[in-house]
Amino acid sequence: MNPGIDLQGSFIQALIDLGIPGGTAKAIWMPLPMLLMLAAATVGVLTVVWQERKISAAAQQRVGPEFIGPLGILAPVADGLKLLFKEDIVPLKADPLLFTLGPIIVVIPVFLSYLVVPFGQNLVITNLGIGTFLWIALSSVTPIGLLMAGYASNNKYSLLGGLRAAAQSISYEIPLSLSVLAIAMMSNSLSTVDIVQQQSGYGILGWNVWRQPVGFLIFWIAALAECERLPFDLPEAEEELVAGYQTEYTGMKFALFYLGSYVNLVLSALFVSILYLGGWDFPIPVTLIADWFGLSETTPWLQIVLAVLGITMTLLKAYFLIFLAILMRWTVPRVRIDQLLDLGWKFLLPVSLVNLLLTAALKLTFPFAFGG
């Protein structure tokens, strides 16, 4: 497949070709990534919220939402409008500044991470050489907002939820980073586009999930813990902490926490798809499909079809993982806080270290198979 193209450079060059000065073209580009991120993430969250309600209802043998729009698809929109018009209350003894900054610090890093997500072969906002490192660095900022929100609420349940969120994030950030480092070692790059391209050419057999099965499991477990999904929803734990760091929040501030949680889930599923499941790559090699039908990969209409199908493949892989995450909510019990920390420090951390060392040894021994 052809190498990925930086969307930013392509867009600016297209405007310059139309006669627009370079400075003006860059100024026109600047707000577009933010608007694209907001629109795509909002649509993704609305879809996931509806999907969670339907899957949860099916798991409990209920019908789920069905009257608000076709098949209840407008129910998430109704939820958003309800939260938008609810009264915004700040507790009397809370710290107003930190209380307001908490949800903002939680949401912004998640949205910024979408800058390096390649949805298709030529569809990435910024193809950074350190794309995966940027995502890990940004994800480390989110627990600060959760801890800030828990502390500023002046509520013991909120404070416990914030402390749990910080401890959980620190515990699982290291195994997650080590599993990503093993992928970067195999791909010789931290760029998300390069990692996907390194998996292309052999169809499903070339995906990293076969060469990094242990890393895949560690990454998926750590991603669920980072997203605070069951069985790792200890920071919220409604039965124990009411709602954890969200207890005192109402209106749009609560909506930001809700939005950040689902946006992070979609983001994690996309990264699993990119790092381990070939991203936009097809299970059957494109060259083989083209040979079957006697077509050339350079045919313009075929390029368009492959681009659309590539985006579809990325989203299908991501939503399959989201389906598994939702299904786990109703099939796996919540773990205790000591079990959660033991799993992260005493099991996932040493296993991820061994996996990294084994990947390095295999890369030196079998350079062709392991990206040498």
pLDDT at residue 298, rounded to an integer:
65
pLDDT at residue 216, rounded to an integer:
96
Per-domain residue ranges for the chain? 86-369
pLDDT at residue 250, rounded to an integer:
86
Interacting residues of 140 by C-beta distance below 8 A, sequence separation 6+: 169, 173
Residues of the chain with pLDDT under 70: 1-10, 239, 241, 287, 289-301, 368-372
Taking the CA atoms of 322, 327, 333 and 339 in sequence, report the sign of the dihedral they define. Answer: negative
pLDDT at residue 5, rounded to an integer:
45
Instruction: In whole angstroms, give the CA distance from residue 56 to residue 315.
Output: 21
Taking the CA atoms of 334, 338, 343 and 345 in sequence, report the sign of the dihedral they define. Answer: positive
Token couple for 169 = 């994030």
Interacting residues of 192 by C-beta distance below 8 A, sequence separation 6+: 116, 117, 118, 124, 127, 131, 132, 271, 274, 279
Contact 313, 280 (CB under 8 A): yes
Instruction: In whole angstroms, give the CA distance from residue 362 to residue 168.
Output: 31
The model carries a pTM of 0.88
Instruction: In whole angstroms, give the CA distance from residue 95 to residue 146.
Output: 14
Contact 246, 253 (CB under 8 A): no
Helix (H, G, I), strand (E, B) or coil at 123: strand
Token couple for 165 = 């969120």
**Could you give the count of Cα atoms lying within 13 Å of 284 in the half-sphere of its Cβ?**
8
pLDDT tens digit sequence for 174-225: 999 999 999 999 988 899 999 998 888 788 888 999 999 999 999 999 999 9
